[in-house]
Amino acid sequence: MGTEMKGPKDRERIESVLKILKKQAPVTVKQEKFCNDACVERFLRAKGNNVKKAAKQLRTALSWRESIGTDHLIADEFSEELGSGLAYLAGHDDEARPVMVFRIRQDYPKTHTQKSFVRLLVFTLEVAISSMSRFVDQFVILFDARFFKSASAFLNLFVGTLKIISEYYPGRLHKAFVIDPPSLFSYLWKGVRPFVDLSAVAAAVASLDFDDSLEDATFAAYPTRTASLRFDPAVAATTTTKVGGSMSSRFSFTVSHFDSLKPWYLSTTTTTAPRAVAPTASPSLIGASPLNARSFSFASPAARSMPRAGIAYAPACRSIPSTPCSFPLPKQPRQQQQQPPRTPRPSFLQSPATLFSFRKEGQVVPNRGERERESFLPYLRFYRRPYDEMVYRAKMRPPLGGLISIISPHLNNQQQQRCNAINIRHQRMQPLNY
């Protein structure tokens, strides 16, 4: 990103592209200004430093820009789109890259031609490029697809946009995110992805995945409700002391000191008056751990007689079963010594990629979806930020801003006062006709 020191070979390639370009057809002043060193270098990188292919693509881009009328695009042509916020520049990220948001609706292609959408796209891209600093040459695009119900219609719009950027703005796109696409878009995108040049920098995410992980501005406006959702151990301790034991017709339980490790005991009780709760004296629970007293009491006779690791049973539990049993109890299996895991032998059926994996033990590699969500996280604020037409028009540099100028009310009042003062002076200077 940004301008870098060019070597003699890079400079020679750039000069070769410009020579071929001028031999094919004369270059105007605006075209020569467009074909600077950074622009030619981007076309060379897109074609693998092939001078002839880069010159051919650059000549095609210049012809296309002339047919679209890029130099004559102004904001007055897109007053309807700017008023509804269909496409605008939302701001700049931490790396000073411009971030554009497209909220195209599904009925827009029905009421507008393909050329009008292309002109709107080019106008938005030119506004973003004009706002770049000297050391930035890439931008980010956010496509809000929640207004589309047809996955195929949005796929055609999205793929057409990526094709225009790859052919006429090579090396400009840093990342493109599709937010809340239709349900079938993911399946269609998997089939089309291998044939799209910029598919590596495109990702589909869902905005609902970030509602629980991030603090929204809505919660900040209600500090009392936000505080009520937080856990306070002091409040929890006072609550547990006030609750006490729970009484019912057959069982009762008590919780002490808000400790989940301490058990609660079952006992028969009445609802007339509370009394001290004591552990049951059932012979089936003799020697059982208090942590699993409830689950152990409902187990089968064979399961109750089986010893568990870490629990020492009294000898009485073997001689006095809680339920008569007609079949002999199973014998206790001997504990086998744990053997160390064997090293897997190499197999020819394994993938060759496993031989070159340098992953550490216990390291979890995130999948594609997790990586896409993490990459979208810095741009979530631009997606949730409300659209302001005045702020967007203020970012337009002439001649893109057009003839319409937004003036604040106090400046308008000052201008009106000056006009009134001038009219009064003219009236005083006029001679009186009798």
pLDDT tens across 204-239, in order? 999 888 865 454 444 444 444 344 444 454 544 444
**CA dist 424 → 6, 411, 416, 431 (Å):** 65, 20, 13, 14
What CATH number was assigned to the domain covering residues 69-212+367-403?
Answer: 3.40.525.10
Average pLDDT over residues 19-40: 91
Average pLDDT over residues 424-433: 56
User: What local confidence, expressed as pLDDT, does residue 369 receive?
Assistant: 83
User: What local confidence, expressed as pLDDT, does residue 368 receive?
Assistant: 81
- Distance (Å, rounded) from C-alpha 113 to C-alpha 290? 75
Domain ranges of the chain: 1-68, 69-212+367-403
For every residue of 197-264, DSSP letters joined together read: TTGGGEEEE-GGGGTTTS--HHHHT-HHHHHHTS--HHHHHHHHHHH--EE-SS-EE---TT-TTS--
397 pLDDT band, cuts 50/70/90, is confident
Compute the mean pLDDT over every residue in the chain, rounded to the nearest whole number. 74
User: What local confidence, expressed as pLDDT, does residue 181 receive?
Assistant: 94
Q: pTM higher than 0.85 for the full model? A: no
User: What local confidence, expressed as pLDDT, does residue 375 receive?
Assistant: 93
- Distance (Å, rounded) from C-alpha 18 to C-alpha 350? 52
170 vs 298, residue with greater confidence: 170
Is the distance from CB of 202 to CB of 176 less than 8 angstroms?
A: yes
Residue 63 has pLDDT above 90, yes or no: yes
Average pLDDT over residues 354-375: 69
| Lowest mean pLDDT across 29-38, 58-67, 96-105, 272-281 | 272-281
Residue 245 has pLDDT above 50, yes or no: no
| Lowest mean pLDDT across 82-96, 145-159, 185-199, 336-350 | 336-350
Residue 431 has pLDDT above 60, yes or no: no
